Amino acid sequence: MGFRSVVFLLIFLLYFVSGERKVQLGQSLLPTTPPTLWSSSSGLFAFGFYQQDNGFKVGIWLIPSKKVVWTANRDDPPVTGNSTIELTREGKLVLRTEQGGEQLIANASGSAASMLNSGNFVLYNKTSEIIWQTFDYPTDTILGGQTLSIGMSLISSLSDTDHSTGQYILTMQGDGNLVSYPLNTEGTSADAYWASGIVRPNPCSLYLNSTGSLAIINNSNSYTLEILYNYSTSVFNTSKTLIYRATLDSDGVFNFYCHTFTRSDESSISVDWSRPTNPCEVKGFCGLNRFCTFDDDQPSCRCLPGTNLIDPNLISLGCGRNSSREGCRGGVENTTYFNIGTMEKMSWGDVPYYVDKLMSLEDCKKSCLEDCNCEAAQYVGSSCKKYSLPLKYVRRDLSASSSTTALLKVGTRSIKSDTGTVPQPVVVKSKTAVMLI
């Protein structure tokens, strides 16, 4: 048996036989000089500094996989290697930066702290009662034994390596419905892209228990109202340790993960449940003026005809118009500058600024082509709906039964830039709806 296997075996045994490790007042951590972390007695979870870009953030992670499950003050910039985490003599858990700044990590003063085997970092009072815990302040993940109560949310990270606030939110609503939205929207049903569909009169919570059951429970009696997912293992195996987590990932998908650790220094991660199952259903997945479709069973994002990526290094910005608007005079388009392209089974989430309920397809094309404000239209049945850019929540579903035809204005003259960069898209500040009956 190799040295690494022996070490991992000892860590594994500690998981079952060791009590929690107390962090005492006055103890501190450094990013690069030991001690750099406070670990759980199992050796599976750690609290301390983890590296991000050229600096360090404060958080909790699974040691074997280095998977970050919680971050303190996630939108603050990374700190330098000369920073310190300290549980002060006064019982405050603080981050001290190289510049002399001091920032509270916990909004309570305790007598000791501990990194628990559950992945929960806690502060105790003098009678060893928990007075503050990271489980009450989740970022993008809940772990086994953790609850997401009414009014609480998971917010996705920006990427797998940047745990700043991302683009999506999963919230436990007051009506008992667990719902995912793009962040910074009004949170209406039109913005929602996944919901548990469970509406209850009594207060309830999302709960992930220690055996891998993800469920909506009644707050008053912990009665299970609905099981979203239940991890099942046919045989109890003492040679394995299973850690469960549910994460709202950076792509907006809510995933259930199982981390398996064995005595032989082997570990594996499986994704056992996902909502939505189709990433293209995540609203805003591709950014503005960009549509989601499937290629070889993988989600693929493409710019709408007539647009290009604003910044290839920041694809979340979406796409912008790639042609000049110089032909527009008095609200009437110079039609020699544009063509109308068509795409089938396209949808998006904007409100049209103009609707005519009785128009032919050819007349709809002509109407959009000649209208300076029209950059896209939808033709459904005999209805013509006109839109300005940018378009959000664009999606192409080839399996859809609807007969929606998208009409897209494509310029014949490319925008030229002295700097060689792609210009910003046309921003529409107001989209006043007009309906003709």
Of 137, 162, 192, which residue sits at a domain end? Answer: 137
Output the CA–CA distances (angstroms, integers) from residue 393 to 166, 175, 182, 424, 434, in the order listed.
17, 26, 10, 19, 22
DSSP structure string for 145-197: TEEE-TT-EEEEESSSS--SEEEEEEEE-TTS-EEEEETTS---TTT--EE--
The per-residue pLDDT for range 260-311, each reduced to its tens digit, is: 988 766 689 999 999 999 999 999 999 999 998 877 778 889 999 999 999 8
Give the pLDDT of residue 375. Answer: 95
136 in helix, strand or coil? Answer: helix
Residue 415 lies in a domain: yes
Range of the domain at 254: 139-277
How far is it, in rounded angstroms, from Cα 274 to Cα 260? 18
| Nearest alpha carbon to residue 129 among 143, 144, 113, 142 | 113
Q: Residues of the chain with pLDDT > 90: what percent? A: 67
**Alpha-helical regions (H) of 239-360:** none
| Domain shared by 217 and 168, yes or no | yes
Residue 316 lies in a domain: no
Interior/surface letters 412-425, b for 16+ CB within 10 angstroms, e for the rest: eeeeeeeeeebeeb
Q: Are 260 and 268 in contact (CB under 8 A)?
A: yes
Residue 70 lies in a domain: yes
| Domain shared by 160 and 263, yes or no | yes
Residue 101 lies in a domain: yes
| Domain shared by 349 and 401, yes or no | yes
CATH number of the CATH domain containing 368: 3.50.4
Residue 297 lies in a domain: no
Of 137, 155, 182, which residue sits at a domain end? Answer: 137
The per-residue pLDDT for range 218-267, each reduced to its tens digit, is: 988 888 989 999 997 655 566 789 999 999 999 999 999 999 988 766 68
Domain count of the fold of the chain? 3
The per-residue pLDDT for range 7-28, each reduced to its tens digit, is: 343 344 344 334 578 999 999 9
How far is it, in rounded angstroms, from Cα 13 to Cα 16? 6
How far is it, in rounded angstroms, from Cα 14 to Cα 37? 17
Lowest mean pLDDT: which of 42-46, 61-65, 428-432? 428-432
When pLDDT is cut at 50, 70 and 90, the band that residue 400 belongs to is confident
List 94's β-bridge partners, or say none.
86, 104
| Domain shared by 143 and 266, yes or no | yes
Q: Are 218 and 207 in contact (CB under 8 A)?
A: no
Q: Are 290 and 304 in contact (CB under 8 A)?
A: yes
CATH number of the CATH domain containing 75: 2.90.10.10
The per-residue pLDDT for range 117-158, each reduced to its tens digit, is: 999 999 999 999 999 999 999 999 999 999 999 999 999 999
